[in-house]
């Protein structure tokens, strides 16, 4: 990994490598804007796997729902590039939390995209939101190695 990308992504506890595939491209030959959100989704799944300690994804363990996502496109990505997607929890509210993303080209360290998403803790059986648990917050802080900012605190 390029030392620039390696240095910058050290602030992210989970970094997911993604190789750009032909199907990810648009008519202009670069990654289609909607695909970046899929890359963020892949990072969310990897973060959840690290949080639960399970190497596979199990929907029964999933207790949040996506409420909002934004992406800032900084430079185009092309076929065959390996993108590194860093993800971290930036802040936690009473019933929600915010993920931040940073996407860089592995070879050059070039910033490709930045993003943010809001997740709401959700009880799928009851079909309603629920508070962020102390257990969830403790796991996040252990994974990230530092306290997480509290919204409204």
Task: Identify whether 8 is part of a domain.
Answer: yes
Q: Residue 138: its pLDDT value, please? A: 97
| Whether 132 contacts 96, CB under 8 Å | yes
Q: Residue 81: its pLDDT value, please? A: 98
Q: Residue 54: its pLDDT value, please? A: 82
Q: Residue 53: its pLDDT value, please? A: 87
Measured CA to CA, the distance from residue 151 to residue 148 in angstroms comes to 10
pLDDT < 70 stretches in the chain: 1-7, 57-59, 152-153
Measured CA to CA, the distance from residue 71 to residue 41 in angstroms comes to 12
Task: Identify whether 25 is part of a domain.
Answer: yes
Q: Residue 4: its pLDDT value, please? A: 58
CATH number of the domain that residue 63 is part of: 3.10.129.10
Range of the domain at 96: 3-144
Structural domains counted in the chain: 1
């Amino acid at each position: 990994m390029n030392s620039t990308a390696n240095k910058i992504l050290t602030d992210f506890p989970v970094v997911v490598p993604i190789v750009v595939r032909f199907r990810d491209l648009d008519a202009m030959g670069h990654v289609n804007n909607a695909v970046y959100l899929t890359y963020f989704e892949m990072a969310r799944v990897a973060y959840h796997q690290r949080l639960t300690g399970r190497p596979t994804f199990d929907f029964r363990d999933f207790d949040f729902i996506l409420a909002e996502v934004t992406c800032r496109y900084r430079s185009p990505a092309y076929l065959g590039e390996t993108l590194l997607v860093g993800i971290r929890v930036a802040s936690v509210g009473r019933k929600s939390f915010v993920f931040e993303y940073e996407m860089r080209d592995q070879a050059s360290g070039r910033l490709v995209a930045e993003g943010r998403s809001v997740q709401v803790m959700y009880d799928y059986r009851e079909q309603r939101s629920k508070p962020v648990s102390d257990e969830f917050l403790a796991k996040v802080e252990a994974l990230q190695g530092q306290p997480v900012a509290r919204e409204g605190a």
